[in-house]
């Protein structure tokens, strides 16, 4: 699956969590722009893991700060 497909699928997953309808770019941050709290992050990560059949470790989650980094991480995990 290429980066564009991954981005499209993640965009559809993020919609229910994007309560303020923030315009999402690669630079959009989860804590700052989207105002995700820790519970929302956990729910969102679970949705991504289910959708892509991957596991995002706690260490990886700590390194992912914005939407673009998330797309890249999912692409990399699918390649492994």
d(C-alpha 28, C-alpha 52), whole Å: 21
Of the candidates 1, 65, 62, the residue with the CA atom closest to the CA atom of residue 31: 65
Place of tokens 């700052």: 32
Q: Domain limits of the chain? A: 3-79
Task: Give pLDDT, residue 80.
Answer: 80
Model-wide pTM > 0.85: yes
Fold of 3-79: 1.10.1200
d(C-alpha 62, C-alpha 57), whole Å: 9
d(C-alpha 32, C-alpha 12), whole Å: 20
At residue 67's C-alpha, the angle toward residues 10 and 56, to 5°, is 70
Instruction: For residue range 4-54, list pLDDT tens digits in order.
Output: 999 999 999 999 999 999 999 999 999 999 999 999 999 999 999 999 999
């Amino acid at each position: 699956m290429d980066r564009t497909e991954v981005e499209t699928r993640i965009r559809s997953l993020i919609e229910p969590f994007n309560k303020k309808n923030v315009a999402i770019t690669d630079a959009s941050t989860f804590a700052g722009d989207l105002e995700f709290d820790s519970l929302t992050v956990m729910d969102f990560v679970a949705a991504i893991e289910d959708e892509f059949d991957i596991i995002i470790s706690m260490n990886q989650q700590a390194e992912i700060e914005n939407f673009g980094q998330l797309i890249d991480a999912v692409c990399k995990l699918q390649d492994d």
